[in-house]
Amino acid sequence: MPMRFDAAKLEAFDAVLPAIARFKAAFGRDISPDFLAELYAARELNLELPDNSNQPGADATDGIGQRYQIKYRSVSTLNIDLNSFDFDQLVLVNLAEDYRLIGMWCLPVHKARTIFTFREKYRKYQATQKRFKQEGTQIR
């Protein structure tokens, strides 16, 4: 079904534009659920995000040099995908529909290697969120 602008949608669209512009000016990146997950993880775990948003392997680092891969998934998404194990800690972030943080778990790479399975069809490693949450440490 095509989307049509009604008065409420136009008002919401016009209202959000200044906030989006302020966000991009402050962070140098467009707002997205993936980037919000990185910001939540950085805030909760006192991590530093790199200036380059497409750095392979790690999305953030901590004060002792540990590399963190941060994955956003909605609670309804079954699997978590990985391209590699080029990190020290893997963080899963769940957000509510209104982008509030509703859950965060951390898993060291040695445990991630035991629960992620390579899927040739997708050319990625996969694990279910359920298994990740069972094996990981809940942060929030």
Ordered domains of the chain (ranges, CATH): 1-31 (no CATH), 32-138 (3.40.210.10)
Identify the pLDDT of residue 5. Answer: 86
At 70 the three-state DSSP class reads strand
Q: Using alpha carbons only, what angle is made at residue 104 by residues 16 and 84, rounded to the nearest 5 degrees?
A: 100
| DSSP character at residue 30 | -
Residue 52 confidence (pLDDT): 67
**Pairing between β-strand 79-82 and β-strand 117-119 as defined by DSSP bridges:** unpaired
State how beta strands 117-119 and 124-128 pair. antiparallel
**pLDDT number for residue 3:** 85
pLDDT of residue 1: 75
Question: What's the pLDDT score for residue 63?
Answer: 96
Mean pLDDT for back-to-back runs of 10 residues, the chain (140 residues): 89 96 95 97 96 76 96 96 96 96 98 97 96 97
Instruction: Give the burial string for 42-68 (b: 16+ CB within 10 Å, else e).
Output: beebebebeeeeeeeebbbbeeeebbb
